[in-house]
Structure 1
Amino acid sequence: MLLRKVYRFQMRPTKAQEELLCQMAGAKRFVFNWALARRRDFYEANKEGISAKQLSSELTDLKKQPETGWLKGVDSQLLQQALKDVDRSFKNFFEKRSRFPRFKSRKREMPSFRIPQRVKVEDGKVYVPKIGWVRIRQSQDIDCKTKSATFKRDATGKWYVTLTAEFEMPDVPLPPAKPENVVGIDLGLKDFAVLSSGEREAPPKHYRAAEKKLKRAQRALSRKQKGSKNRDRARQQLARIHQKVRNKRQDFLHKMTTSLVRGYEGICIEDLSLKGMARTKLAKSVSDAALGEFRRQLEYKTVWHRKHLAVIDRFFPSSKLHMECGAINDALTLADRVWTCACGAVIDRDLNAAHNIKVEGLKQLVAAGHAETLNACGAQVRPTLISRHSAVKQESHVL
């Protein structure tokens, strides 16, 4: 099975190299806009689309013209990739995945370009065709064959290279997961994650911590005159604060997901309705927690490390169902962090949900043949009490 891995490194170009990078990004933007206008005009004149072969031939003729001869100094694959980007934009539009392609603006778009081949990394440097070797902050080794490279300048003015690599994953069945090495995770806002093992992870709230700085930086930007150098410096200062928040959040998520994948053979989580939650009064906290990014990282890391991931249906009543007696508390509200069951037990809402998620996840793994159902003494490991509650009123899980 062929999988992809992405590496992203910050570049450290000289002033001359940075100018060349901007020129290549400008050439890509120019060809993209030219190809978009050419396809639009051709359709209006002929009522049919222009072929990719004809458009590529016209690009070759365009480079021979005196006023656009400067395109010869740009990598040819970069320009061909711009034509592919236009074609992909139209394809997404016709398949109703995006709006009609629009022209790229130098003020609106961040400078970027993609080169599909001939980019390599050696000794802390990346080779860019037509530019040469550019220093990078290489934080890890590349152990796969790279397929393409994307160069982009962010809002803070720093250049980054994103390398896409491919590697072969053995296409063999995963080893079965032992129930004692499977964990259920209840995600939330009061506690970012509560594990069925009893561990709790407090929410970092990176955006909340930087909110005052962001407000001051935004006010300072709004007072600057448009087009001035002071406004550009204020914009970069605001972008740096946002970048720090984003980096802290990514660092927290990567460390936690990596720890979970390395520590357990199976992980069980819920399929939360994040879009619906983002439309509630808790929208800011939901976005700050980045629960969707947490799941995305778990999905690909479990594949890379050959571990199991079970995703529970969002309507499963994990919080309302008592894990011991199987009673359902239909009166449970979001404010009830601890509730008393009819059997007399005092229940921690999140820990109870994590246990129920693990039990339901084990059912999925057993059904798929990925988990063992007997312990060392031959006794049944997973509880069977939930089966008699399969027709209970479903719960729309809200954190």
Structure 2
Amino acid sequence: MDEQLEFAPCGYLALTDEGKIETMNQTLLDLVGYDRQELLGKSINEILNKPAQTFCQLYLFPLMKLGRKVEELYLSLRSKAGDEIPVLINGNRRKKENGTEVNECVLIPMYKRNEYENEILQAKKIAEHALAEKAKANEELRKALELVESQKNELLQANKQNEKYQERMTRELDLAKQIQHISLTPQIKTNEIAITTFYEPSSELSGDIFGCYQINEHQYGVIILDVMGHGVSSALITMSLRSLFEGLILKANTPDVVLCELDRYLQRLFQYDVQSTHYVTGIYLRIDTKKQQIEYLNAGHPSAIWLDGDGQQTELSSSLPPLGMLEGLIFKTRSFSYTSGGRLLLYTDGVTDIIPYKKIFELVDDYHLSPTSDLKKGIVTQLQMIDTNLEQDDQCFIIVDL
């Protein structure tokens, strides 16, 4: 590292995709109070407070891996002495001469903003004291007012910068919302199967996600997942899971393989910070219309409902805890056959928070001879009867007709 970068008036940091520190300049080392050898090769979490660790894991690193520039993110570092240091982070992904890629960040301390506020308070005290000191009142008051005006302008400028940051974050959230909606798979309708879906996030971003896939001429895969909570952090996890489960399903893997791989991914995702762990409930079904067989596995998710051709209902209940919760789980696929068609209903707990389980079973029974569109309309009608002033969870359900 050349001398100009080593002692630049801002911190410099190069990270691997796993968040490990490849290099950092002396300015940043002085800021956090560490020696270089104490941090090289270590996780960036060593110099981040808990909220910043979660934010970097779920937002900063995914953006940089996608090649997106990160501008003016406000985080807090944690010094060796345990002090919090507010900084603005700008980040970029750069290809080095040897062809490998590195994530580079510039960190700018934000002490000035607090100093400006303290100086304004001090200036007011000086002005009050000047009024009591009649002999010096005019001169000291003039100086105090000049200082207040100067600091006020600087604070206004800082607020404008913060407004720009908020606008940028709003645009990023809108983009994330669009991506999340686009990523949902379309409904499927063939001579052998019809899949109808409903999806309503509780806020701008959702923790629920589903996928419906035609694997080959006779096999179909249906999955529904619910990440703990909702909002930005849950949505980031659902998007990271989507590409994984889509690839697993389209390779015709059995339900035990699909959910086991999702569980392993979640275990790895939070291996450096268990306090940020998000659990995921889910159920995956692989349907073979030629063999007339359904294989499934439920991990902590609300029971799916199977209605056979004779009108008999069966619950496809959970046999495992939620994914990402415990290590060493044994995943074992369950299966059953059908002869005269039937209907499946899968849903997240945002539905059962509003509609009691008993009522859901009654709706499935009431509409068992009706088209799926009628059952969907009946469920949506019940969901819309909730008091809109109450906090709601994400709502998602899937109807499969065979």
Name the TM-score, length of structure 1 as normaliser. 0.23
Name the larger-Rg structure: 2
Q: Which has the higher contact order (CA 8 A, sep 6+)?
A: 1
Name the TM-score, length of structure 2 as normaliser. 0.23
